[in-house]
Amino acid sequence: MTKSQTNTGKLDRLLEEQRQYIAQREKGYREKALKLYPWICGRCAREFDRRGLSELTVHHVNHDHDYNPPDGSNWELLCIYCHDEEHSKFEAFVRYGGGADSRREAATFNPFAGLKDAMNNKK
């Protein structure tokens, strides 16, 4: 056996161990989250039944996959699409920084501001 074959075998073994570790860890908190929360996406409100349950994921609110309190306070059920979007937003936040510099002021326009007076003058 050559050195590269040995390294490849070792790498495959390490990757398989990592996959098993992630699957085992995920099974624990996923099962708990599915018992705690209704099977509805927390963003788009899509409802799931047992057939489509594989498309419902457990999102860690603080993005720490090792922080799994038993009360589920760090979990949120999201469909795979909303989960991907949430992680994309987080990656953009990490890469480009927060939006504190681009904070917008609240809208102050009130389209019904003069409606009461207009209706009183009509009488």
Mean pLDDT lowest among 39-53, 71-85, 92-106 = 92-106
Residue 22 pLDDT exceeds 70: yes
pLDDT confidence of 40, banded at 50, 70, 90? very high
Over range 19-39, report the average pLDDT: 83
**pLDDT value at position 5?**
62
**For residues 53 and 55, what is the distance between their CA atoms, to the nearest angstrom?**
5
Q: Where are the alpha helices (DSSP H) in the chain?
A: 3-36, 80-96, 115-122
pTM of structure? 0.57
B/e letters for 82-119, b = 16+ CB within 10 Å, e = fewer, are bbeebeeeeeeeeeeeeeeeeeeeeeeeeeeeeeeeee
- Residue that the structure tokens 């207009």 belong to: 118
Q: What is the pLDDT of residue 26?
A: 67
Question: What would the mean pLDDT of 50-57 be, rounded to a whole number?
Answer: 92
